[in-house]
Structure 1
């Protein structure tokens, strides 16, 4: 599900590139980027599998927790009308207009603009897919099923793109991000908790309970944020189709990697501090208390809710 969202966003830009600048270079750029991403998974996956499981659960679980809370926070704020919804049709229109303004012939064997644009967008969106595959796969020692899931998502999006030949604007993208954010936050909470030595009632079954709790809290926060929103914050910060200024690929990649985990620095700092504090408390008592896991989750939910309330009032 998470990979599906990212591939839908990448498809929109690739379609714009192919329509305006030509399909040969657009597809070559896409293929080159996919090959680089698959190589990254092939190298990083087995390397992480050799790390002791508790360490992998702590490090990757914490990163997955930050990643999932970021997704969930943005999905709630979008549903509450505080952040703009992502509109694939508007993104497609904006991208085609930007590509048409580029000078230079587009009929050459390899169009540098088309190749670079397709490569960049697939790489940037693919970084999130790679992280999801590695994080879920490494923490549970299930790299292969996670990779198959991402591969199936890619095939579905490619098939729909070839068949419809237009942006997948009817895909309920924010609804998918909402659901995926809930699940990633739950998995990240569980694995980070296990990594610092906390115990969960019901062991692995606690993941289902965490999914339910995060889902209920997120739905409640949608209604609360709507009520808290001020008139001055009714207008979103940026239009749905607006794109950032053009920068180099390395700058984009660095920004994308940082943006995977940090959307609200206050929330990110609070989560890391809470993980460290819970770890220290567990080490001091040198015993895994059954209620320690749920208390850890409650602290994270409080931090997430406080972050969304702060944004709704801003």
Structure 2
């Protein structure tokens, strides 16, 4: 069960981050040239691969129990943030992320830098795509390294992230548009719940707890957090509707 969740979590989390990075890459590629966009992207991916290759084996050598305690606590912090934002978006308290609006804004900013000589390597385009892919990719690297080390499956975590990169990049280059139809908040919701589930499981194990059923407890935790999500979103939606109604009456 560990293996399945490690691959799935890495794939979904990486997909979310890659969709956001792809929007910037497409905006730069279509306005500043594909050579610049792909050069910046490649440089960032190489650096991320080096980070995973360096820190993954180092963490894997640490004693498993304290490692899971530390990683579990970090995943709880990371996962609860994603989970909270996803619930706020699902309930209407926070606006959904708009990839089309981001694409339009980045395209306008890139066009404002002036014309680029055909075939030339544009410094602005390289720097922007490198920064965007690196920043989004650092979260992916964190998940790959921590999941892989704690589950002792670094290779599977890397494969999940690599598969997400190939799928998102292929779709983006094929349609030359941001993947705005991807249910991004649903993906973030799912990843947030999964990270919180693993964080709880590993932190408790690292603290010395023994879960009933062993790895099967992961599925139980996942069900509990999913049910809690449904309850929280339902409650928040009612609050949002009531607040909107009071605002209309006041206006």
Q: Given the two structures, how large is their TM-score scaled by the length of structure 2? A: 0.89
Per the TM alignment, residue 100 of structure 1 is displaced from its structure 2 partner at its CA by 1.4
- The correspondence for 2:29, drawn from 9, 18, 41, is 18
Q: Does 1:112 align with 2:123?
A: yes
Residues 233, 36 of structure 1: CA spacing in aligned structure 2 closer, same or farther, 3 A cutoff? farther
Cα distance in 2 for partners of 1:108, 1:114 equals 13
More helix by share: 2
2:33–2:119 CA contact under 8 A, matched in 1 = no
Q: Which has the higher contact order (CA 8 A, sep 6+)?
A: 2
Secondary structure at 1:170 match in 2: coil
Secondary structure of the 1:89 match is helix
Partner of 1:311: none
2:206 is the alignment partner of 1:170? no
Matches within 5 A, 1:253-292: none
Where does the alignment leave 5 or more consecutive residues of structure 2 unmatched? Answer: 1-11
Root-mean-square deviation over aligned CA pairs: 1.6
Aligned with 1:226 (options 219, 234, 237): 237
CA spacing shift, 1:31–1:219, aligned 2, 3 Å: same
The structure 1 residue matched to 2:221, chosen from 210, 220, 231, is: 210
Equivalent residue for 1:91, pick from 102, 106, 117: 102
Is residue 7 of structure 1 aligned with residue 7 of structure 2? no
Tell me, what secondary structure is at the counterpart of 1:166?
coil
The CA deviation at 1:109 is 2.5
- Which residue is 1:64 aligned to? 75
Q: Give secondary structure in 1 for the equivalent of 2:89.
A: helix
Q: Post-superposition shift, 1:103?
A: 4.3
CA distance in 2, matches of 1:168, 1:84: 18
Matched ranges for 1:66-85 at <5 A: 66-85=77-96
Change in 2 beyond 3 A, CA 1:232/1:56: farther
Contact 1:22–1:106 (Cα < 8 Å) also in 2: no
Distance in 2, Cα, partners of 1:219 & 1:233: 24
Number of corresponding residues: 234
**Post-superposition shift, 1:108?**
6.3
1:31 equivalent to 2:62? Answer no
Q: Once the 2 structures are TM-superposed, how far is the Cα of residue 105 of structure 1 from its aligned partner? A: 3.9
- In the aligned structure 1, how far is the partner of 2:37 from the partner of 2:65? 42
- Does residue 52 of the first structure (1) align with residue 63 of the second (2)? yes
After superposition, the Cα gap between the structure-2 partners of 1:156 and 1:59, relative to the gap in structure 1 and judged at 3 Å, is same
Asked if the contact 2:79/2:196 (under 8 Å) is kept, the reply is yes
Are the counterparts in 1 of residues 35 and 119 from structure 2 also a CA contact under 8 Å? no
Contact 1:59 1:192 in 2 (8 A): yes
